[in-house]
Amino acid sequence: MKKFAALMLSAVCMISLAACGSEPKSDAAAGSSSSEASGAVTGMDDLPGKKIGVQTGTTGDIYATDYEGDEAGTVVERYNKGVDAVMSLKQGKIDCVIIDNEPAKVFVSENDDLKILDEPFAEEEYAICVDKSNSELKDKINQALTDLKADGTLDEIIGHWIGDSADQKSYESAADADHSNGTLVMATNAEFPPYESLDGENVVGIDADIARAIADKLGMDLRIDNMEFDSIIMAVTSGKADIGVAGMTVTEDRLENVDFTDTYAKAKQVIIVKK
């Protein structure tokens, strides 16, 4: 999908325009966002006492929170979109951004003044969240994932979006696909390329393709609802969505509210800094 690359270039280029960014969400972060960053970050050992940018509610946010309020005075600034955190980094308002590796590579590839540190911050795996009361759906999705792994569909989907041969080609349901079992509603946050982003009004990426392939296995159509990342779990628990698919890591805090399927991808958190 060639328009994806063009849209990502346009979106990331907007980082350099101060007028297009959003302010940090937390009061503490908002109070410090206008000051300069506190120093260079060359690895995890340098994080205490620094200003760290994250996307609200993500795994990066969870990890960064461990540093927040320490004796070194670490500040965590939270943004609705990862691209806004990167913008603040470019403007010198924060010292680094903690984010997943694949989105980080997109941002860095379009900004010559940024780099990803060689030292990974944390390893993680992605899974699909479902309501705790819907074990039947979880079991069906797990079986679908097993089948998609076995027949190579899962690897094929990921290969279209990650790697040297990535062509951003979306998964397409077979012309004779049976969708007579209703509609599977997926909640996501389309600010996380290449897992999910917007192509016009359509959500595209790895997670959208995997969800569509799962829906095909279940004999269902797929509807994707785009929302803030920290609203996804609430959408699932309230019944507004059947599943949450958004590069979501299984954590103890999240398990208090939702269940997770088997994992479908491995990833890592990384640190973006200015060169």
CATH number, domain of 88, equals 3.40.190.10
Residue 275 lies in a domain: no
Whether residue 261 contacts residue 138, with contact meaning beta carbons closer than 8 Å, is answered with yes
Q: Are 183 and 250 found together in one domain? A: yes
Full-model pTM: 0.76
- Give the domain-ending residue among 82, 99, 123: 123
- Split at pLDDT 50, 70, 90, the class of 17 is very low
> Which pLDDT tens digit goes with each residue over 218-259?
999 999 999 999 999 999 999 999 999 999 999 999 999 999
Q: Are 167 and 259 found together in one domain? A: yes
Q: Are 11 and 79 found together in one domain? A: yes
* Whole-angstrom distance, CA of residue 143 vs CA of residue 209: 17
User: What's the rounded mean pLDDT across residues 44-56?
Assistant: 96
Dihedral, CA of residue 269, residue 23, residue 12 and residue 273, to nearest 10: -40
Q: Give the number of domains in the chain.
A: 2
Q: Are 34 and 73 found together in one domain? A: yes
- Give the domain-ending residue among 72, 101, 123: 123
Q: Which domain holds residue 54?
A: 2-123
One-letter identity of residue 86: V
Q: Are 191 and 216 found together in one domain? A: yes
User: What's the rounded mean pLDDT across residues 71-91?
Assistant: 95
User: What's the rounded mean pLDDT across residues 82-91?
Assistant: 95
